[in-house]
Amino acid sequence: MSSIAENLQAVARAIVAAARNAGREPREIRLLAVSKTFGADAVIEAMAAGQTAFGENYLQEALDKMAELGRIAPELQPEWHFIGPIQSNKTRLIAEHFAWVHSVDRFKIAQRLSDQRPSHLPPLNICLQVNISGEASKSGATPEEVPALAQQVALLPGLKLRGLMAIPEPAEDEAAQRAPFRQLRELAEALRAQGIAIDTLSMGMSADMAAAIAEGATMVRIGTAIFGKRDYAN
């Protein structure tokens, strides 16, 4: 079985190949290692291999992991990204413990995160989650709601609006995978044309990373290809 370090090298090579195929600079694409359901030991192993940014979906699991990491490796300072659905009663802890939040889909949540961001920390980096495939089971603002939401969020003092995030419906072939990513990129371009300065497209996971990179992803969220198959029993 390959190690986390070997998996990270393989993912890095895949990012470089996908970028070159798309005529892009590989350094434009940042890797977010999705560490949900994996322990602090996996984060330590990934950091030893040079990975710095980690994505978490479940708040309590993430806080427990941060605390354990603080006990056993206090010298390590990962950059934590919250990528899961956000409930109003969780915003304070998210605002206090994360550097990025990818899953803001309504103004009420953004306002709470801004109000609750500790003043000694830099503004919280925010991506607006877009329900690009229109799935009833998924969180996210509709594409039609995004321009007004972006205008509002960009004005909040505790936040820095960085861009858009989406988790499209799974598709088998690359052409079908690329279509929603293209839609998200065009939405980002429309926001920039309105004067909203954003620089991040958080899109693409282990199964559709190449399609996302071809359509302009600047951050890919990879879990399984780095850490292995997840065990949700815990």
Give the Cβ contact number of residue 7 at 10 Å: 20
* Tokens 């995004």 found at: 146
pLDDT at 71: 97
pLDDT at 230: 81
* Tokens 């990818």 found at: 102
Residues of the chain with pLDDT under 70: 233-234
CA 34, CA 205: separation in Å to the nearest integer?
A: 9
Domain residue ranges in the chain? 4-227
pTM (2 decimals)? 0.96
Identify whether the C-beta of residue 62 lies closer than 8 Å to the C-beta of residue 38. no
Closest of 99, 113, 100 to residue 152, by C-alpha: 113
pLDDT at 37: 95
* Tokens 């330590």 found at: 44
pLDDT at 233: 67
229 burial (CB, 10 Å; 0-12 / 13-18 / 19+) is exposed
Cα Rg, the chain, nearest whole Å: 17
pLDDT at 172: 87
| Class of the CATH-defined domain 4-227 | alpha beta
